[in-house]
Amino acid sequence: MTTRRTAMKALGALAATLGRAAERIPANKNVKWGLGSNLWTAYFKGTKLTDILDVMRDTGFIGLRVTQFPKFLETYDMTQPQMEKEVSKRGLQVVTISFNGPAQDASKQKEVLESARQAMTFLKEFGASRLVVFSPNRKLGEAEGAFKTMCECYNRLGEVAGEMGFQAGLHNHMGQIVQNEDELDRCMRMTDPKLFKLSPDTAHLHLAGMDVPKILDRYKSRLMLADYKDAKRGVANFQQSIFDLGDGEIDFPACHRVLRSVSYKGWLIVDLDIARQGPRTSYERCGAYVVGKLEPIYV
């Protein structure tokens, strides 16, 4: 009897623990949560793709942004059909690709558009419909007319995306042509809002000196997807300036109120560049922050 009673108590404790864990996993209703593969590709090399997918399944970050495409499949020694199978059986989704190319060079526009088509063809097999576009290296924007040429290329890229049932949107980034607030505003002015959207990264907005909620509010009608990534200014090393959600300086509740104001229905990517206690622990912590602080504002 004692043994049975002890076993029942153990089962009850386990059920309670699992229940608490489930409560800390994002609901993925209007706002759907994902992560980027770059954390593992760049900083946890040798990890199997199936291990990444298991972390996603267990922490509730159910969407994957692929980086370093098309080399990604080679890096993880997996064919596209194999990847589709592994993603599907865990109830996950491939959301987008981190896309870039020499958009500032008019002679290479055809190359950029063809590369974008290849990326979207890959994504389409997973049911994705968003292409996140990074601007070229900042030094490449110094040439005369480079910024204007880049924006013209992005309008054309937006047309191609629309033809394929996709949307394409700019991802701001430190060290790239679109880094500062004036550059972001200029790019948004010089691209057609019907063709080219915005896929902002909150950490890079913050580190470039911007007020993140104000930027989101300014371009709320063009939000296609966003990175929710926390950061602290004044840290010399970029990687060390990135933190789990809630550990940095960004006002995510204010950001979430902007999303609520437009009834945002789409993906938010928590694309960490560092996981101080390992990826699983970081995403468990981020998930708890989402459930505890953000979902009471907007789910």
Say if 18 falls within a structural domain.
no
Boundaries of domain holding 62: 28-294
Structurally, how many domains does the chain consist of?
1
Ranges of residues in the chain whose predicted pLDDT is under 70: 1-23
9 found inside a domain: no
199 lies in some domain = yes
CA dist 55 and 136 (Å) reads: 31
CATH of the domain at 165: 3.20.20.150
Inter-residue contact 100 to 70 (CB < 8 Å): no
Query: Is 5 inside a domain boundary?
Result: no
pTM (predicted TM-score): 0.91
- Residue 118 belongs to some domain of the structure: yes
Task: Indicate whether 15 belongs to any domain.
Answer: no
Residue 19 forms part of a structural domain: no
Residue 10 forms part of a structural domain: no
Would you state the pLDDT for residue 12?
47
Q: How far apart are CA 211 and CA 233, in angstroms?
A: 12
